[in-house]
């Protein structure tokens, strides 16, 4: 029998407490960024890891301002979001070496938006063979690396990207 290892799920299972407020609103206090899996907060956009990822390295990019619709974004926010998505792809490519990416935005509950009031892009790194019968038949995803290990790798990648002038 195969064993699926997802130790970060235990924290969710045994915890009765839920985060207050919007998960995508970073606030001013950076002391909880690691706990919240926040990798980067810029002037207009922020990046965090998906706590329940489709694949290792699944990132979420959101505007810093609490906005639920594309038409509410300023042109500056829209540009910054896309530039941040590009940076994320670059960091993921350098740190994790994926062979491709799924990048998307779910607008509205029927489109799959889990958090409707704060729009966010999903960036899912993909590798050949990263899907298998477990997902199709067992409705189970196999995530081979612990979230905290991935977080540390990606955080270093974001810091290096910014240090070498990748931040505008």
Encode the chain (168 residues) as per-residue pLDDT tens digits. 555 666 666 665 666 555 678 989 988 999 999 999 999 999 999 999 998 888 889 999 999 999 999 999 999 999 999 999 999 999 999 999 999 999 999 888 888 778 889 999 999 999 887 765 445 445 556 666 788 889 999 999 988 876 565 544
Q: Are 51 and 8 in contact (CB under 8 A)?
A: yes
Residue 54 domain-assigned (yes or no): yes
- What is the number of structural domains in the chain? 1
Strand partners, 124: 102
- CATH number for the domain spanning 78: value is 3.30.428.10
Query: Does the residue 10 lie in any domain?
Result: no
**Cα gap 112→54, rounded to integer Å:** 14
* Residue 120 falls in the annotated catalytic set: yes
Q: What residues have CB less than 8 Å from 104, skipping those under 6 apart?
A: 121, 122
Identified catalytic residue from 58, 66, 118, 120: 120
């Amino acid at each position: 029998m195969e064993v699926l290892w997802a130790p970060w799920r235990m924290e969710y299972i045994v915890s009765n407490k839920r985060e207050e407020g919007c998960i995508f609103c970073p606030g001013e206090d950076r002391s909880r960024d690691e706990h919240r899996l926040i990798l980067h907060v810029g002037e207009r956009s922020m990046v965090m890891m998906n706590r329940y990822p489709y694949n290792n390295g699944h990132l979420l990019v959101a505007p810093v301002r609490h906005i639920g619709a594309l038409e509410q974004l300023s042109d500056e926010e829209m540009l910054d979001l896309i530039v941040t998505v590009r940076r994320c792809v670059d960091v993921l490519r350098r740190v994790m070496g994926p062979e491709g990416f799924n990048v998307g935005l779910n607008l509205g509950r029927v489109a799959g938006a889990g958090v409707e009031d704060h729009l966010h892009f999903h960036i899912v790194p993909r590798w050949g063979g990263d899907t298998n019968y477990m997902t199709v038949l067992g409705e189970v995803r196999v995530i081979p690396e612990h979230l905290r290990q991935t977080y540390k790798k990606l955080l270093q990648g974001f810091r290096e990207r910014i240090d070498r002038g990748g931040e505008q």
